[in-house]
Amino acid sequence: MFGFDVDMVYRIPALLAAMTIHEYAHARAAVAMGDPTPRFLGRVTLNPIPHIDPIGMLLLFIAGFGWAKPVPINPRNFFDGRKGTFIVSLAGAGANIALGFVAFFFLNFLYELNLIGVVWQKTLAQLYRYNVMFAVFNLVPIPPLDGSKVLMSLLPGRLAYQYQKLEPYGNYILIALVLIPGLLSFVVTPFFRVVEFVIRGAARIILGIVL
């Protein structure tokens, strides 16, 4: 899936779209919850350039592990700190799942109508896959991933405090997940399959109604 090959012409737009919608959703949700920081910093935009971290983008292609530029957020500005953290943290993965659904729906819709060519087929397929990957990986409850903030916002105060102590070690845990053969796949594959099941099931139900 990663690396430099002829399919990059399809993968680059799909990757940029997945990264952009993820960070845009975080920024939009933060503003909606009362924090103007992302707006002041120009992050409430669907232009991919402000969201790209050059090193993280390059590593995605070379090593299969990378990152976008995180959206700066100040939870103290939220109308409700716990609720705001939950919604903002979940917004990125939610947007990826929504875009993945749209990609899968149109991939199958155009296929059923015999209107899809190779370019659209490969682009939509990559768009679907990248968005599911972004959603699932970011929901892993390991700091600094979004899943850790979602979990922390749901835990009672004392447990949240204990869980927060994991933050200094989060990056080391993530590196271990990536470097130890098979470990990352073992952790994320069950969640990947659940998200795929939901997206594909919903898309097929709607396709059955539309067609």
Residue 1 banded pLDDT, cuts 50, 70, 90? very low
Q: With 70 as the cut, is the pLDDT of residue 149 above it?
A: yes
With contact defined as beta carbons under 8 Å apart, do 112 and 55 qualify? no
Question: For the residues 159-183, what does the mean pLDDT come to?
Answer: 87
Tokens of 200: 């594909």
pLDDT for the residue numbered 61: 67
CB atoms within 10 A of CB 20: 21
With contact defined as beta carbons under 8 Å apart, do 134 and 1 qualify? no
Of residues 153 and 61, more confidence is placed in: 153
Instruction: Answer left, alpha or beta for residue 159, where phi above 0 means left and psi between -120 and 50 means alpha.
Output: alpha
**Cα(149)–Cα(88) distance, integer angstroms:** 9
Tokens of 178: 């990536």
- Which residue of the set 23, 112, 167, 196 is catalytic? 23
pLDDT for the residue numbered 211: 81
Question: For the residues 8-34, what does the mean pLDDT come to?
Answer: 93
Question: For the residues 160-168, what does the mean pLDDT come to?
Answer: 89
Is 23 an active-site residue?
Answer: yes
Q: Where are the domains of the chain?
A: 8-210
pTM of the model: 0.91
Q: What is the pLDDT of residues 47-71, one digit of tens each?
A: 999 999 888 877 776 666 667 899 9
Q: With 60 as the cut, is the pLDDT of residue 45 above it?
A: yes
